[in-house]
Structure 1
Amino acid sequence: MLSVVSRVVVWIVALPLLSSPLFAQHQADSDTSKISLKRVLSDTSGGLKRIANPPPHALEGRPSTSRRDVQPARVGIDSSVTYSARYIESLRSESTIHLIGDAQVKYKNVTVKAGKITILWDKNLLIAEGLPDSTNGLAPDSVKIDKSTLPVFSDGKETMVGERMEYNFKSEKGRILRGRTAFQQGYYQGDAVKRVAPEVFNVLNGRYSTCDKAEPHYHFRGKKMKVIVGDKVIAKPVIFFIGKIPVAILPFAMFSTKENGRQSGLILPQFGSSPEEGRFLRNLGFYWATNDYMDMRFTLDFFERTGILFRTHMNYALRYNFTGSFSGSFTRKDFANRSERRWNLNINHNQQLGESASLRVNASFVSNNNFYRELSSNRRQVLRRQLVSNATFNKSWGQGKNSLVVNLKRTKDLETGSDLITLPNLQFTHNQSALIPFKKDESGRTKKEPRWFNFIQYRYRGLVLNTVRKDSSNDPDAEVNRRAEHDLTLTFTSPKKIFGWLSLTQSLVYDEDWFDRTKTFKLDTLTNRIESSKDVGFAARHLFRYSASASTNLFGTFFPHIGAIRAFRHKMTPSISFIYQPDFSSGFWGYYQTVRDTTGKEILKDRFAGSGARATPRGEQLSLSYSLNNLFQMKLGEGDKEKRIDLFNLDFSGGYNFAADSLNWQNLNTRFRATPRRNLNVSMSMTHSFYDTDDKGRTINRLLFNKGSFLNFLRLTSFRFDARWTLSGRKSTPAPAVAESERGAPQDLADLDPLGLGPTGESEDGFSPEGAFSALDRPWRATISFSYSLNRFNPLNPSRSAYIDLSNMEVQLTQKWRIGYKMRYDIERSEIADQRISFYRDLHCWEARFDWNPKGIGKGFYFKINIKAGHLRQVKVERRGGTTSIFRPF
């Protein structure tokens, strides 16, 4: 219980009180206040001798005598005082003015409104009180105060309501009894608030809560507080109450009240327990806004059974120059009855070097391969089995035509422990440009009509790469590979359409790779295995490929004039492409080595394998590809109300390989896509083969057409159908849309989220679990998906699968209860493959969530109860369990 106390107490009195203005718009309680007449009429610190109260009903039915007067500045007062009221009584003998009924006094930027205001000019003192409700007298010395007449104190943007107020014009100090105000999703009140300076208040018995009940479900209380408006609040001691029960206490606390930008202060912890760690406390720490360019976060996680995890995170930024962060963690915990050290380090740096250059650094390091598995409850981090670190320098010039990239990269496999280090990777690129540019005059216009050769474009890329591979962290022998490559692409697009309707494009791609070593292969006759050895020395590989394509568009339109339908249009886009690439595995090129095994079988081995470059292409490629894309559209309405709707797409593609010794015809692929409604998507794909199968279901080089059946010339080999339907009830409260231009991009540290907190206030640090429920602004919603696939490559052994997915299903059962459900049902096996059931309960100023995964990844349960207010969501208690939970029998 004490642990819960320590986590809750630190923040709440201070956090709401201090991270917002001290005074805001007053929200009155539903009950009227009782004030003793003896206390109301007693002599104040200002020395009030007599307060003139009009008799009951004196103000009812009489003509308004409201007026507005300006009192010139007096000795000690450096500004005029403006006041008004329905009834004004001036006692010159006592230098006193009584303002009764809608009384208002303005002095500099201070405004006081009340049912009754008394000004003692000789003491420079103002006293504001509420008027008694004369219809509800309770006793000779007690009345109910009309709450609409309670004093309201305003100082700029800050506003506070109290039962009684006093203000000194000369010292500009004041006092408010039982003040209460609403701000930052919460309510603040104190027994006495004394203004000791224009921006400084002393508060006695201050209380804060986001609960709007007269008796709040929770609140934070500080016996003594000093509030520096727009800066900080200092309180001692701070106690967190649930109801009237104190559950946590801190002897001293200091909180920021800055409205904008970053704020230094304590970070609320998270409480929970697990079967492995026992009870735990996460994210207890301090956030430090160091200056305008840097901030830091220090947190610790305490685990009852295994120890403490220390974490730190630092952000830095300089607008238009650089941004970055450092984060890391350290622990000395007990793993399998032994104490070991664990740590991790993450580095992120982005820097703009002038207008055309930039530097990007991202690095991740861990003490051992199981760091996230042992210490993180974030599923994505647990499943992460590679660490990738990068440092990249990028430079462009020549109006973006030229670019240079220098990259250093390290990839660590957390499963095998192997390392692949790229040190460095240099790449130069010249983007597409005219090989023979147009000749232009001084005005930028072409001197004459461009010729065909002016439409030849080229693109060049060069790369130098050095890689180091280590099979494990203890491997003393690292494999080093160096290579260089460059490629040139020439593209020609016909400036005019052939025959006026056919577009033609041709391209030639040339690749050249340089290596510092190759491989030689030989057969080990004892094991019948092919062994390789390295040959150090320069070697080059030259590859090229030629392609050409032609396409056109055909249109057909039908005008039915049925109702609002004006026309149907069918757009066809037929295209053909030709590709040629020689067989680089032939002995002519020398890129492959032929090895015979003990059976005499010839095996081809790539001499450049393992260098990091792509494999040398095998087999000649001489193919013709074709496609026919169909788009069906419908036009509705006329004139300004005309609307065009895409009905569906139906595409076909295939090809013929002239270089293949068999099975020359490639499969015919068909794809159908449609969106009949905005919330319904349907897609279908099929693959057909032109060839028959043998008695074992294997494809053979025999066309189905040659079997004598003219109509049966295709064989279905695969089929897939998908449908996705999104449903929801009507939106209850439309959310205002925010344009991208209004959001802007973070430019410096003040624009960033320094703690890495999302909209819910949850930290995305790689250690916390992912969220489940999302915001629901509709009574219900659901997404239903159906998928069916059939595999008939071997017609004798077909396989199929069918699933129904129910995702994002949420129903608002009542005003307080919400239920969510996610399920994947395997139709073929008639079983549920995965599911999750979620419950949400609105507990007024608190909220609770319960998730249960009966099976699959993340099997177990998760329970959390937390304060609903966004800035206090970290005040929570959570519980999770896996296979050892109470749901284990299910």
Structure 2
Amino acid sequence: MAFQKPSHTFTKIHLKALHTNNFKILFALSFTVFINTLSFAQDIPEPKEPIKPSLKETVILKTSDSLIAPLISEKSQDSTQTDSIKPKKDLLEYIVDYHAKDTTKFNRKKQKLFLYNEAIIDYGDMNITAGSIIIDYTKNTVYAKGIIDSTEGYTQKPVFTQGNNVVEPDSIIFNTETKKALIYNSKTEQGEGHVIASITKKENDSVYFLRNAKYTTAEDQEDPEYYIRLLKAKIVPGKKIITGPAGLYIYDIPTPIWLPFSFFPQSEKHTSGILMPSFGEQNERGFFLQNGGYYFAINDHVDLAVVGDYYTNGSYGLRTESTYTKRYKFRGNLGFRYESLITSERGFPNYAKNTIYNLRWSHSQDSKANPNSRFSASVNLGSSKYYRNSINQINSGAFLNNTLSSSVSYSKTFQGEPQVNFSLTATHSQNTNTQQINMTLPTFQGSVGRMYPFASKTGSKKGIIQNINLQYNIRGENRIQTTDSLFFKKEMFDDAKTGFQHTIPLSTNFKVFKYFSLSASTNFNEVWTFKTINKTFDPIERKAVTETINGFDSYRTYNFSTSLGTTVYGMFNFEKEGEDRKIKAIRHVIRPSISYNINPAFDKYYDTYEVVSADGLTTNDVDYSRFEQGVFGVPGKNFSSSIGMSVSNNIEAKVRDKDSTATEAKKMILLNNLNFSTAYNVAGDSLQWSPVRMSGSTQILNNKMSINFGATLDPYALDNNNNKIDKFNIENGGSLFRLTSANLTTSYSFSSKKGGKKDKKDSTESGIQENLRSGGRGDDMFGVGEDFANQQINDKNDENETPSEFYNYQVPWSLRVAYAVNYSNSRRQNEISSHSLMFSGDISLGEKWKIGASSGYDLKNAGFTYTQLRFERDLMSWRMNFSWIPFSTRASWNFFIGIKSSILQDLKYEKRRQPDIQL
């Protein structure tokens, strides 16, 4: 789950004049003592009513060979006589099953059983495999050790298994009566870590005592890159490890980091516990406790983390994160963050106080849950300045994004003929610059599937009559427009606009002259609204007065449209007999179409008010519609009749395949699409031609480089004031068209042969997912989001990876480049409105070394854009990274090194310089 976990930050404290509140400092220290006092919450509670194991019936030792089995005297007894003396307990309580590959020998005099080479002993829930095993029946002991081989050395070391606990020592002595054991040079796995001890004493089935042991999460147990040396320790398998003095060693080199005691919780399931905070100092807010709280393991389907920050100048923050899932049903996560930020101290000129918050919720339904209904949610709302002012999160993608958006929807389909669909959707869109918020609470949409009333029940639909079809759609909206300051206040709902729109489209299509497709449609539209307006002119204030009228009202409109189109194929063949040319053929596909649209005038829905001058004379009448402030706009006042024309092109080529074994030519796209469109307003009295709009796209370099372009061409000229006039540009001494705007965007991704492989998880994937969840880009062009408190839980360790080489001669790399340019010339300004180059990439210096960067260059203003530099080093059991934003108002850096394992996630070092944020 994504939530803030504790991060220990070692900060150098500088003396300065900071007027802090003594009471708040004492509160922070008291909170620390409170956490240390209650840290036993990490322990796993004992079950209230343990189940007592039932003893098996005592049995006599059975051996696989009757010749070497110990002699047991038998005495005849009368069945009618009962002996008052209780029988003596047998030497062994359970049946002993044993096996050896080479030797199985029993010494009658010493009462010892010798097993040699691949020896196996099964006794109750205990299993021992070793090179040599000796069973002493007089002392009730089992002694297991390995075999010394002249070539391989010490082989077939013992493996002691009891229940789920596995120990791999050099040798072991086990007492079958007391269940105690002495284990020498043992290696055992405890949770995510490994314990290597010189001497281990097994007290009973659930307690082990160790002396001079090592605890590590390294994969290489023979030569671990780090370990924690335990002078004395107690292990309760599957529950906890409690130690005496413990110190950190790195490659057998002692460090000054020692603790008088330590506690390692061991559990195979989620458990609740305290999240230890980090301590430090921030320039503007004094000393702090950060990311401290409690983790609630509610059940296997849902959890909750509550963490917070406290600063001695009075600032504080609170965050809650919850992840939930149910297999084959749904999954999601919910997070809420709130921060009360104080800059400087009261009385200083730079004192400021502000509160910010952010709510994020994502929910997805499994496709197998219900094929006819679906619920989904993607919510990201809160203060417009949250991502800019938050002091405990650096999210580059969200910071550079100016829009926060949310959507929660439910849809259901009723199968049948015709099919019925409906959906309920709540949406939210927020501009973080203007702090303008637009919401729909909710939007209702319903539809009845397309119906063909005149089609035959069998066979295909043919002709103009059989292809007549209609459907019914309804849309209802409750639209709200507000700002940050009024969000979820009473004023927010006062200006809500509500309305319904009903549409019934009727259409048909048929063939004309065999090669042309003709379609015709008409659309009936009815709008319901519950608020209208009335406008009057106030002669005293000299302005129009708008009055809102509550009550039901409606209007109806209709229109007609038709279109005619065809497809033309052209093939240019370059092949000649006896020649194997590189370009085989080029195919050009042209799709021309022409359309006609007519919209009647609905001026009956318009009224007028008189504008009176200061001397009491009526100057003019102003038209308005009482539906102007409605959700679905106003009906058209003027009659319109227009003809639209468009042409689309597609060009492909067949080329010789580079693979000599290929039997067919390879298809290559030369021009994915090239579109031209314009329109002529038949009912207009001037400027009847619309500008010609051109757009196109293609992909080159094995589809790695995409190119998109567009332009607008205006046929009309400009006057001396740069205003458009009803005169063609060619008649005014210019060219046929004026280029008023143009744009070009291209992107290219390329990499080395090895760098292009995606065999293992991309190190920036989690950051990109954070970008998307916060509304940012789905790539690293603007950097990646980083949650420094959770660096250690992003474990990307692969068990199949080989240890990194210090030098990698292949040096895998990848580079992503995006270029964009926009040209404007609508009023003869003839300027490049924007011109930028963005790039991001990474270089792997070794299997576990990676350097990455995201930046860009503004070619118009001649300056670098937002830049982020990244360095990562996978240290097997450890992870180290450094990120740096060298300039801009977000200039900052962060260094982190810590252990990957979640059990030791607090063993880390982090140092950061936070950006200077002004509220």
TM-score bracket relative to the smaller structure:
0.7 to 0.9
1:119 aligns with 2:135: yes
Residue 460 of structure 1 and its aligned partner are, at CA, apart by 2.0
Q: 2:267 matched to which residue of 1?
A: 257
Separation in structure 2 between the aligned mates of residue 829 and residue 366 of structure 1, nearest angstrom: 33
Deviation at residue 551 of structure 1 after TM alignment: 2.2
Residue 825 of structure 1: how far off its partner (Å): 1.4
**Whole-angstrom distance in 2 between the partners of 1:661 and 1:851:** 62
Residues 761-818 of structure 1: CA deviation (Å, up to 9, x unaligned): x9999998999999999621111233332222223543354322222x2123456654
Over residues 500-537 of structure 1, what are the superposed CA-to-partner deviations in whole Å (9 max), with x where a residue is unaligned? 22222222222222223321223344554333122334
- 2:708 and 2:387 map into 1 onto residues whose CA distance is 42
Alignment partner, residue 839 of structure 2: 806
Quote the residue 2:724 is aligned against. Answer: 699
How far is 1:434 from its partner? 0.9
Work out which of the residue numbers 883, 888, 897 in structure 2 matches 1:865.
897
Which of 462, 484, 487 in structure 1 is aligned with 2:499? 484
What runs of 5+ residues in structure 2 fail to find an aligned partner? Answer: 1-6, 12-31, 45-63, 71-89, 347-352, 762-783, 798-807
2:456 aligned with 1:434: no
Sort the Cα spacing of 1:669 and 1:874 in 2 relative to 1 into closer, same or farther, 3 A.
farther
Q: CA, structure 1 residues 403+787, in 2 after alignment: closer, same or farther (shift >3 Å)?
A: closer
Aligned residue in 2 for 1:840 = 872
Residues 466-521 of structure 1: CA distance to partner in whole angstroms, max 9, x if unpaired? 56777765767963556432322324232x42222222222222222222332122
C-alpha contact (below 8 Å) 1:847/1:868 kept by paired residues: yes
> Which segment drifts farther, 199-208 or 558-567?
199-208
Q: Distance in 1 between matches of 2:701 and 2:405?
A: 43
- Per the alignment, residue 471 of structure 2 pairs with 459
Deviation readout 1:435-473 (Å, 9 max, x if unpaired): 516454xxxx46x97664342222323345556777765
Q: TM-score, normalised by structure 1?
A: 0.73
2:548 aligned with 1:534: yes
Contact kept? 2:8, 2:278, Cα under 8 Å: no
Kept after mapping to 2: 8 A contact 1:806/1:822:
yes
Q: 1:596 to 1:552 in 2, by over 3 A?
A: farther
Which residue number in structure 2 is paired with residue 852 of structure 1?
Answer: 884
- Provide the rounded CA distance (Å) in 1 between the counterparts of 2:232 and 2:728: 92
What's 1:720 paired with?
743
Q: CA 1:547 to 1:869, structure 2 compared with 1: closer, same or farther past 3 Å?
A: farther
Would you say the 8 A contact 2:212–2:229 is kept in 1?
no
Quick one: which amino acid aligns to residue 184 of structure 2? L
The answer to whether the 8 Å contact 1:71/1:82 transfers is no
Question: Which residue of the partner structure matches residue 502 of structure 1?
Answer: 516
Contact 2:594 / 2:643 at 8 angstroms: preserved in 1?
yes
2:593 maps to which of 561, 564, 575: 575
Kept after mapping to 2: 8 A contact 1:404/1:427: yes
Q: Would you say the 8 A contact 1:181–1:189 is kept in 2?
A: yes
Q: Is the 8 A contact 2:42 2:265 kept in 1?
A: no
Aligned residue in 1 for 2:159: 152
Letter in 2 for 1:299: V
Shift of 1:539: 2.3
Task: Answer whether contact 2:446 2:473 (CA < 8 A) is retained.
Answer: yes
Moved more, 825-834 or 164-173: 164-173
- Superimposed CA distance per residue, residues 158-206 of structure 1 (whole angstroms, 9 cap, x where no aligned partner): 6432232233456766442231256887543234445566676555565
Matches within 5 A, 1:220-235: 221=230, 223-228=232-237, 231-235=238-242
Equivalent of 1:830 in 858, 862, 874: 862
Equivalent AA in structure 1 for residue 467 of structure 2: F
SS in 2 for 1:93: coil
CA contact (8 A) 2:792 2:902 kept: no
Letter in 2 for 1:721: L
Q: 1:506 and 1:768 mapped to 2: Cα distance?
A: 60
The match for 1:288 is 296
Structure 1 counterpart of 2:267, which letter?
A: T
Q: Please say if residues 402 and 428 of structure 1, whose CA atoms lie closer than 8 Å, have aligned partners that are also in contact.
A: no
- Give the TM-score normalised by the residue count of structure 2: 0.71
Aligned CA distance change for structure 1 residues 684 and 537 (closer, same or farther; 3 Å): closer
- Closer/same/farther in 2, CA of residues 105 and 612 from structure 1, 3 Å limit: same
Q: Which moved more, 1:659-668 or 1:327-336?
A: 327-336
Q: Quick check: 1:273–1:879 contact (8 Å CA) kept in 2?
A: no
Do the aligned residues in 1 keep the contact of 2:143 with 2:172 (CA within 8 Å)? Answer: yes
Classify 1:234/1:365 alpha carbon distance in 2 versus 1 (closer, same or farther; 3 Å).
Answer: farther
**2:679 — aligned with what?**
655
Partner of 1:35: none
Which residue of 1 is the match for residue 83 of structure 2?
A: none
Q: Does the Cα contact within 8 Å between 2:68 and 2:108 map onto a contact in 1? A: no
Whether 1:590 aligns to 2:623 is no
| Equivalent AA in structure 2 for residue 727 of structure 1 | F
Structure 1 partner of 2:4: none
Which residue does 1:178 correspond to in 2? 185
In structure 1, distance between residues paired with 2:514 and 2:67: 88
- Call closer, same or farther: CA 1:426–1:702 in 2, change over 3 Å: closer
Change (3 A) 1:854 1:365: closer
- Aligned CA distance change for structure 1 residues 182 and 780 (closer, same or farther; 3 Å): farther
Deviation at 1:381, TM superposition (A): 6.5
Distance 1:815 1:364, change over 3 A: closer
Q: Distance in 2 between matches of 1:374 and 1:223?
A: 45
Aligned pairs for 1:53-132 (under 5 A) are 76=92, 78-86=94-102, 90-100=106-116, 103-105=119-121, 111-131=127-147
1:675 maps to a residue whose letter is: Q
Does residue 643 of the first structure (1) align with residue 666 of the second (2)?
yes
C-alpha distance in 2 between matches for 1:465 and 1:325: 28
Partners of 1:422 and 1:788 in 2: CA distance:
35
State the partner residue of 1:38: none
Distance 1:366 1:97, change over 3 A: same
Label 1:787 to 1:368 Cα distance change in 2 as closer, same or farther (>3 A). Answer: closer
Amino acid corresponding to residue 828 of structure 2 in structure 1 = P
Distance of 1:558 and 1:368 partners within structure 2: 57
The alignment yields a C-alpha RMSD, in angstroms, of 5.2
For residues 184-583 of structure 1, the aligned pairs below 5 Å read 187-195=194-202, 203=210, 207-211=214-218, 212=220, 214=223, 216-219=225-228, 221=230, 223-228=232-237, 231-236=238-243, 239=246, 241=248, 243=250, 244-245=254-255, 247=257, 249=259, 253=263, 255-258=265-268, 262-265=270-273, 267=275, 274-278=282-286, 280-303=288-311, 305-306=313-314, 309-315=317-323, 328=336, 337=345, 356=372, 373=389, 376-379=392-395, 394-399=411-416, 401-406=419-424, 425=442, 427-436=444-453, 438=455, 440=457, 445=458, 452-465=464-477, 473=486, 479=494, 483-494=498-509, 496-525=510-539, 528-561=542-575, 562-563=580-581, 565-583=583-601
Greater mean deviation of Cα atoms: 347-356 or 401-410:
347-356
- The letter for the 2-side match of 1:588 is K
- Alignment pair present for 1:626 and 2:625: no
Structure 1 alignment gaps of length 5 or more: 19-66, 136-144, 739-761, 886-890
Query: In 2, distance between residues paired with 1:674 and 1:407?
Result: 36
Please tell me whether the aligned partners of residues 610 and 620 of structure 2 are also in contact (alpha carbons under 8 angstroms).
Answer: no
Measured in 1, the distance between the counterparts of 2:760 and 2:518 equals 46
Q: Which amino acid aligns with 2:861?
A: R
Q: Name the counterpart of 1:138.
A: none
Quote the residue 1:683 is aligned against. Answer: 708
What corresponds to 1:741 in structure 2? none
Residue of structure 2 aligned with 1:164, choices 160, 171, 188: 171
Alignment partner of 1:588: what SS? helix
CA distance in 2, matches of 1:544, 1:770: 62
Further displaced range: 765-774 or 351-360: 765-774
